[in-house]
Amino acid sequence: MKTKSLLYLAGLTAAIQFVSCAKNDLDSTADLSQANEVTTATEAVTTSARVAAMRIEAESYSGMSGVQTEDCREGGKNVGYIHVNDWMDYSITPAAAGSQTISFRVAGPGGKLRVQKADGTVLATVTLPVTAGGQIYATGSATISLPAGKQTLRIVALTAGWNFNWFELSGGVATTVPPTTTNPTTPTTPTTPTAPSTGANVALYSSFEDASDFNKWIKEICRSSALQISSEVPARKGKYAARFEFTKDDVINYNKYVRAEIRQSSDAEQEKWFGFSNYLPGDFVTDPLAEKIAQWHEVPDWDLGENWRSPPISFGIENGRYYVQILWAAAAVNTNDSKDGEKKVDLGPVDKMKWNDWVFHIKFSYKSDGILEIFKNKVKVYSQYGPNSFNDKFYPYFKIGIYKWGWNGWASYSPENKRVLYYDEVRIGNKNSNLNEVSPQ
Ligand SMILES: [Ca+2]
Ligand SMILES: [Ca+2]
């Protein structure tokens, strides 16, 4: 899967994102980044001074020696081709001096890196987690102490072969706040930092009232204008909705890029509820080339030699009609050509300039216990009980937006040059959720 494209995908490389502490990138049960989210009793005293985490994309270095970038499975780019003593420099500006957790999102054989100041002073040596593949990421952390203000951090590879997606500085606290001494070793229950709008079982809620909402998602866009908070159509709720745009020119200008999407990451939950509302503009053109507008994207078992396949469950529009497509396979290793079954189900005609509320209740399974129930405007329009996905270690991850793969090669069959879609009121609930809890309200 390694590509050596050095193409700069402008929309994917926002140099520095300020992100909330929301836990949205649980990629595997071995993901050590949960450490960032667990508030221990000791830390509880100091959280009043906690500042927002600062995430820096690995490819946003100000200088480097010996590395290259490549497409990252988690979206955007990662730094790869790392050899011993390769390094990358990053310009950072901590708001306050003090001790911080520095977390590295990496994949591969493990190893070590060193964090140092511009003058060579070593700040930390970090042991990297071993992961199941070169694009299966986990997070390793260390504690460093930084002064406030603009400075350069150099990250030096002490071992080779790991891939690097991002690093994050978090937990910057005022060092004068004393920790509690009462039972400091007892961790409290991890809390869900993203406040659900309603319902105890809703783990994610995006109202798209503010661009910061996109920080709850991984962006897969080729340019920043492809994804915007918009008020050009009436929102499903509030004042704004998410606007996705994708053009035929994007495919040409961005090295066969075929999507404007945002996504979650896969996790260990087999059964979930997904709710969202979508809106097609008045100039939406009927197109024989389909687009997928929501996907439950598979995660290959890289360690078994598996590669990307089509999404086991996807929701799309083709010839002016909604459809759902379901693929399944029980073999531990499968390809697009080796599966046990496939189904494509018509879900009726599209209507323009109107919000439609969709809920997908899914229990992913390659066995007979799978569940797929689809509701449109709170009315069940389809259900299938039985296999609905592949035999993979990780469950599929959720995406919304525009995936228009046909424009790479068959664009002349399409009567349009630009697709625009709107989304609002996205909720993801756990298995105990229900139609009313995740449905747009
Ligand atoms: Ca909204
Ligand atoms: Ca598999």
Window from 23-37, 123-137, 205-219 with minimum mean pLDDT: 23-37
Highest mean pLDDT among 84-98, 152-166, 253-267, 364-378: 364-378
Which domains, ranges and CATH numbers included, belong to the chain? 10-170 (2.60.120.260), 202-438 (2.60.120.200)
Q: In angstroms, what is the span from residue 202 Cα to ligand 1's centroid?
A: 17
Q: In angstroms, what is the span from residue 227 Cα to ligand 1's centroid?
A: 14
Q: In angstroms, what is the span from residue 230 Cα to ligand 1's centroid?
A: 9
95-110 average pLDDT score: 87
Gyration radius of the chain over CA positions: 22
Alpha-carbon span 15 to 254, nearest angstrom: 18
DSSP string, 286-326: P-SS-EEEEEEE----GGGT------SEEEEEETTEEEEEE
Question: DSSP strand E in 121-254: where?
Answer: 122-130, 137-146, 151-157, 163-170, 202-206, 218-220, 227-230, 241-247
Alpha-carbon span 132 to 123, nearest angstrom: 28
Residue 52, pLDDT score: 60
Q: In angstroms, what is the span from residue 337 Cα to ligand 2's centroid?
A: 13
Residue 197, pLDDT score: 53
Q: In angstroms, what is the span from residue 133 Cα to ligand 2's centroid?
A: 13
Alpha-carbon span 332 to 326, nearest angstrom: 18
Q: What angle do CA 214, 220, 226 make, to 5 degrees?
A: 75
Q: Kindly report the pTM of this predicted structure.
A: 0.60
Distances (CA, A) of 89 to 97, 153, 412: 20, 6, 44
Residue list, CB under 5 A from ion ligand 1: 207-208, 235, 237-238, 424
Q: Per-residue pLDDT for 177 more than 50? A: no
Q: In angstroms, what is the span from residue 323 Cα to ligand 1's centroid?
A: 25
Q: In angstroms, what is the span from residue 19 Cα to ligand 1's centroid?
A: 20
